[in-house]
Amino acid sequence: MSARTRELLGLVPVALVVSAGFAAVLVSRAPAGSGVDDIKAGTLTYGLAFLGLCVFAHLFIRARVPDADPYLFPLAATLAAFGLVVIYRIDPELAREQAQWFVIGLLFFVATVVFLADHSVLERYRYTIAAAGIALLLMPRLPLIGTQENGAFLAVKIGPVQFQPAEFAKIAIVIFLASYLRDTGDVLVRARSTPLGGIQQALFIVVPAALVVLVVVALGLGPAEVVLLAVFVASVAAVLRERPSLKHFGPLLLVWGLAMFMLLFIRDLGSSLMFFGGFLALLYIATARLSLVGIGATMFLGGATYLAGTVGHVQDRIDVWQTPFDPKLLEQTGGSYQIAQGLFAQADGGMFGQGFGQALLQIPGTGTKILPAAHTDLIYAVIVDEVGLFGATGLILVYLLFAARGFKTALVAGDGFSKLLAAGLTAVFALQVFVIVGGVTKVIPLTGVTLPFVSYGGSSIVANMVLLALLLIVSDHARRDRQRLQGGLV
């Protein structure tokens, strides 16, 4: 069975998800004694329309990138279909708008594949792309167009159009980092001189250990601070022991500064964690050195801890995360009401959920919302409430399968830039899922990051369709080159 045939068969469950999901929602909303014919017609219409769009995309993939991974698009379509059903359950008008954005996302997907036949062209414009990405991150702070929501500057509103620039900036930053680390990754770990002697090696162990003990005793640090300091000092010692060229560590400091800037000025912990986590993943792939990851991770955690104690908005987010059921925070504007209601909704769903359309999202007869931002920030809480932990785990498994195919694409890629690009895009995608799911489940502070392909939002689905297109382009080139090598002389 060919790859494209497997892709086509993978779209059958997508149509079933749409049809069964809309049927469940329509049945829950149908008045008593109503006929079944209207429900059948509605579910068939939604299912066939969505399947038609997916088949169009499949035919386009078959024509333009025939050797691409056969599972990435069906997995993305499954996530989009499930998200459309959940949004329709919350608000049919929002679902109609989301369907329109899915069509626009498909157009961007097609345009990316058509106009970017060879992704290696991106390497020539890496600094231009990096500048564009930084400019996108700054846009929410610009007067007249920048908007603030829940204390964070995430969106830009130009006339009737509102979007989140960070969704597109993540792609630009990954492209730049993949290109830069492809050229400098080996330089970061290459020693400049002969190896150190035995005494010098011992000093690189004894001196950092003594330094950590002195700082801990002098400052009276707590357990968390001690661990951060120990990891940071040990990582720095491991790097300096090989005496690499320090001038190439500029990007590490630049990206760290950019992450701290996002915390300080944009006030969004989730985006900062997503960007810097993706950078650390690329740094490890390019250098295979955990010491560099240790330095970066402790720098981020240390900077975030410092800003949490000095910036009011960041500290408020930490307080809401630690004590969401505090009566004062529950009654406070922009307090812990949102996260507390999300936790209640997940507990209400139990193991198998209450069924589509059965969760209580607003007070009957009044229209007062019980679960704020149910279609965006807390859509995962709605999912757990209605399909339970069992169904939510299935959703997470789909995300894991998508990430696995993305990293598989990075493994089969033949050149360094393609490997780093595919791995970086997949890492940022997976981290975005972790940030929003972790925020809703109280693993980390809740942020305004969207759940890819599932949450309502035009910029999110368009940006992720572009990300999907880039992965398919890389996969097509990698698999085609691999088949050519296997078919040659040995």
User: Which candidate, 394, 369, 372, places its Cα nearest to that of 383?
Assistant: 394
Q: Which residue has the higher pLDDT, 206 or 110?
A: 110
Above pLDDT 90, what percent of the chain?
32
pLDDT at 399 over 50: yes
**Is 212 contained in some domain?**
no
Residues 60, 54 contacting (CB under 8 angstroms): no
Position 489 scores a pLDDT of 44
pLDDT at 33 over 60: no
Q: Which residue has the higher pLDDT, 122 or 311?
A: 122
**Is 200 contained in some domain?**
no
Residues 129, 176 contacting (CB under 8 angstroms): yes
Position 407 scores a pLDDT of 95
**Is 118 contained in some domain?**
yes
Q: How many CB atoms lie within 10 A of CB 251?
A: 17
Position 181 scores a pLDDT of 86
pLDDT at 371 over 80: yes
Position 236 scores a pLDDT of 73
- The interaxial angle of helices 12-29 and 3-10, nearest 10 deg, is 10
pLDDT at 29 over 90: no
pTM above threshold 0.95: no
**Is 213 contained in some domain?**
no
pLDDT at 37 over 60: no
Q: Is 487 exposed, middle or buried (0-12, 13-18, 19+ CB in 10 A)?
A: exposed
Q: Which residue has the tokens 């661990």?
A: 227
pLDDT at 462 over 60: yes
Residues 164, 262 contacting (CB under 8 angstroms): no
pLDDT at 122 over 70: yes
**Is 307 contained in some domain?**
yes
Q: Which residue has the higher pLDDT, 230 or 344?
A: 344
Mean pLDDT of the chain: 82
CA 8, CA 70: separation in Å to the nearest integer?
Answer: 8
| N-to-C CA span, the chain | 26
Beta bridge mates, 149 = 152
Residues 187, 245 contacting (CB under 8 angstroms): yes
Ramachandran area for residue 355 (φ above 0: left; ψ -120 to 50: alpha; else beta): left
**Is 198 contained in some domain?**
no
Q: Which range, of 80-94, 191-205, 303-317, 472-486, averages the lowest pLDDT? A: 191-205
**Is 233 contained in some domain?**
no
Q: What is the mean pLDDT of residues 353-379?
A: 80
Q: Which range, of 174-188, 227-241, 336-350, 454-468, averages the lowest pLDDT? A: 227-241
pLDDT at 57 over 60: yes
CA 76, CA 50: separation in Å to the nearest integer?
Answer: 13
How far from the centroid of its chain's Cα atoms is residue 267's Cα? 18
Q: What is the mean pLDDT of residues 121-147?
A: 85
Number of domains in the chain: 1
User: Which candidate, 73, 68, 61, 167, places its Cα nearest to that of 114?
Assistant: 61
Residues whose CB falls within 8 Å of the CB of residue 351, separated by 6 or more in sequence, listed in order: 388, 389, 390
Residues 379, 451 contacting (CB under 8 angstroms): yes
Residues whose CB falls within 8 Å of the CB of residue 485, separated by 6 or more in sequence, listed in order: none
168-213 confidence digits (pLDDT tens): 988 998 999 899 888 876 666 665 555 556 666 666 566 667 777 7
Given the DSSP bridges, would you call strands 152-158 and 146-149 parallel, antiparallel or unpaired?
antiparallel
Count helices and strands in the chain by DSSP H and E runs: 18, 3
**Is 473 contained in some domain?**
yes
| Residue 293 lies in domain | 3-190+244-486
CA 304, CA 311: separation in Å to the nearest integer?
Answer: 10
